[in-house]
Amino acid sequence: MNSLLENLLGVHLNKLGFINIRDGGSDIMFQLDEKFLNEIGLNELPEDQKKPFLQHIYDELELRVGTKLSDGMSDGQLVEFESIIDRKDKIIAIWLEKYAPNYHNDAGFIQLQKTTGLDVNDPTLRAEYAATKWLEINRPDYRDVVAKVLGDLKKEVIAGRDVILGKPTV
């Protein structure tokens, strides 16, 4: 199974460190990279610590967002969604037939296909689309949750930046 955030939010972390949150036909993007470190005041972090620190931020974001989004969901919703993120093709096919029977024509599916380069019949593409669509229906606030959690995480890091950098505190 892919990372929780990737599956749960339809978020794709590419090899360059992009986190790309699909928003219908458009993208909301932020990067976990040098620019992000500058934003939070950690541009002085030693080079050998930057990549592990960014991975830690990604992992923490993944955990916090998943926890927030699962709050308030029924057991039935969690089971249904777990089946989708576990890529149970039969469940996905049934769910898509009920909630998105013409998904091949949906702008979100088309954009996801272009972004990933996967064949339109690829089960991974179908599963990623179903997970995103499921969230749009069951947790339409999921993009806001990601933005808020990331904002809170940035504030925490900024508040502790001197400790992270090993600078003496007054």
Question: What one-character-per-residue DSSP string does 148-166 give?
Answer: HHHHHHHHHHHHTHHHHHT
Compute CA distances 71 → 31, 139, 143, whole Å. 26, 10, 15
- Reported as a single tens digit per residue, the pLDDT across 142-157 is 878 888 988 999 999 9
pLDDT for residue 5: 44
The whole-number average pLDDT for the span 43-54 is 91
Radius of gyration of the chain (CA): 18
* Lowest-confidence pick of 42-51, 67-76, 93-102: 67-76
Banded pLDDT at 29 (limits 50, 70, 90):
low
Q: Kindly report the pTM of this predicted structure.
A: 0.72
The whole-number average pLDDT for the span 120-132 is 91
- Smallest CA-to-CA distance from 40 within 151, 121, 170, 166 is with 151
pLDDT over 90 at 137, yes or no = yes
Banded pLDDT at 18 (limits 50, 70, 90):
very low
pLDDT for residue 170: 65
Alpha carbons 162 and 45: distance in angstroms, whole number: 10
pLDDT over 80 at 50, yes or no = yes
| φ, ψ for residue 58, nearest 5 deg | -60, -45
The whole-number average pLDDT for the span 52-80 is 86
pLDDT for residue 13: 36
**In which element (H, E) is residue 28 found?**
strand 26-31
| φ, ψ for residue 19, nearest 5 deg | -115, 120
